[in-house]
Structure 1
């Protein structure tokens, strides 16, 4: 659900200061908001303070949010803690494999480029043939 930033209330948080917002802002600028913030039914922030602050700094007027009904202070604090502690970063090997795959996709070898060109050519030919039969 899209919520106006001006309507979101931020109360006492575990994290005292939203830090390292530049990289998050760059990600949000490039890809948009990948994970919505979490609010209770009174539009009080439960999780996603860094995303909220980055959106404000980017000049956004609204943000995608998940609104949880029937929360209490204990469950809200549990959710805030859970969101900030259960992440599992890539291992060094996983990260290296991901960047290797990304490099191959960005810069395919000769045979991959040739194969894609052949596939585009035949797709074009078949679309012409299909158009004539209709």
Structure 2
């Protein structure tokens, strides 16, 4: 295992998060990651994730145990492979109990919530706001941000 400190790690190790302990954040070679049988058996779609990671990078590291066995982040791992990456940011956790690893996989895949219609419209409005550039627009956007914060729009 080739370990190097990840830019995601803030120097803290051994942080207890709920039932598991995050041991460290590292950059790990993809070929060193073992993939166990997954709960999901259907073919996954990664095209949208590949595009996202290509544009914005990996925003959330995958999770492995101390034996480099994948616990969560299969789609992210496959997207990194599709992009030709040789290594990826991982969080290494101490989860010796199979039940805890399974609970993490379930949690990682079940708690996400899509934007509702109102939230999507708010996102579109903000994107249109920030597409404009120049000093006048920056000042205007700053003013609109202040109003948003004051009135919790």
Q: TM-score range by the shorter chain?
A: 0.7 to 0.9
State whether residues 41 and 69 of structure 1, in contact with CA within 8 Å, keep that contact through their aligned partners in structure 2.
Answer: yes
The answer to which structure has the higher helix fraction is 1
The corresponding residue for 1:113 is 137
Instruction: Determine the C-alpha separation between the residues in 2 that align with 1:114 and 1:8.
Output: 45
Deviation at 1:49?
A: 0.3
Q: Show CA shifts across 1:9-32 (max 9, x none).
A: 001110124522100000000000
The answer to which structure has the higher strand fraction is 2
Q: Spell out the pairing of 1:1-134 with structure 2 (5 A cutoff).
A: 1-107=26-132, 112-113=136-137, 115=139
* TM-score under structure 1 length normalisation: 0.79
Instruction: Determine the C-alpha separation between the residues in 2 that align with 1:68 and 1:18.
Output: 27
Name stretches of at least 5 consecutive residues in structure 2 with no aligned partner.
1-25, 141-153
State whether residues 95 and 101 of structure 2, in contact with CA within 8 Å, keep that contact through their aligned partners in structure 1.
Answer: no
Instruction: Determine the C-alpha separation between the residues in 2 that align with 1:29 and 1:6.
Output: 20
**Which is higher, the Rg of structure 1 or of structure 2?**
1
Aligned residues, how many? 115
C-alpha RMSD over aligned residues: 1.9
The corresponding residue for 1:120 is none
Name stretches of at least 5 consecutive residues in structure 1 with no aligned partner.
117-134
* TM-score under structure 2 length normalisation: 0.70
